[in-house]
Copies of this chain bind each other. A is one copy, B any other.
Amino acid sequence: MYLCFDVGGTNIKSGLVDANGTVLAKRKVATRTGGEAEQTFRQFQELREALCNEAKIAPGEIRAASIGIPGFVEMETGRVTRAVNLGWRDVPVAEKASAMLNVPVFVINDANAAALGEMWRGAGKGVNNLLCITIGTGVGGGVITNGRIVNGTHGLAGEIGHFRVKIEGGRPCNCGRTGCLETEASASALAYYGEQAAKAHPKSLLAEQLAREGKVTGKVVAEAARKGDEAARSVLANAAYYLGYALAGAYTVTAPARIVIGGGGAAAGSLLLEPTVRWFHEFTLVDIQKTEIIVPAVLGNDAGIVGLAKLAEMNLLAQ
**Cβ contacts under 8 Å, A255 to chain B:** 150-159
A164 contact from B131, B148, B159, B248, Cβ within 8 A: B248
A293–B152 CA distance with the chains assembled, in angstroms = 12
**Cβ contacts under 8 Å, A129 to chain B:** 150, 152-153, 157
A285 contact from B146, B162, B293, Cβ within 8 A: B162
A148–B160 CA distance with the chains assembled, in angstroms = 22
A253 contact from B160, B285, B286, Cβ within 8 A: B160
**Cβ contacts under 8 Å, A88 to chain B:** none
Q: Contacts A146-B146, A248-B164, A253-B254; is A285 near B153 (CB within 8 Å)?
A: no
A176–B289 CA distance with the chains assembled, in angstroms = 12
The A232-248 residues at the B interface (CB cut-off 8 A) are 245-246, 248
A257 touches B153 (CB 8 A): yes
Q: Quick one: copies of this chain in the complex?
A: 2
Interface of A is mostly: mixed
**Cβ contacts under 8 Å, A152 to chain B:** 129, 254-256
A145 interface hit (Cβ, 8 Å): yes
**Cβ contacts under 8 Å, A148 to chain B:** 145-146
The A257-290 residues at the B interface (CB cut-off 8 A) are 257, 283-288
The A108-129 residues at the B interface (CB cut-off 8 A) are 129
A317 interface hit (Cβ, 8 Å): no
A156 touches B288 (CB 8 A): yes
B156 touches A285 (CB 8 A): yes
In angstroms, how far is the closest chain B Cβ from the Cβ of A13? 26
A169–B208 CA distance with the chains assembled, in angstroms = 38
A251 interface hit (Cβ, 8 Å): yes
A285 touches B145 (CB 8 A): no
A253–B145 CA distance with the chains assembled, in angstroms = 11
B252 touches A285 (CB 8 A): no
**Cβ contacts under 8 Å, A92 to chain B:** none
A167 interface hit (Cβ, 8 Å): yes
**Further contacts, 11 of them, CB under 8 A, given A82-B287, A145-B146:** A129-B152, A146-B148, A150-B255, A153-B288, A156-B252, A156-B287, A157-B253, A162-B284, A175-B285, A177-B284, A177-B285
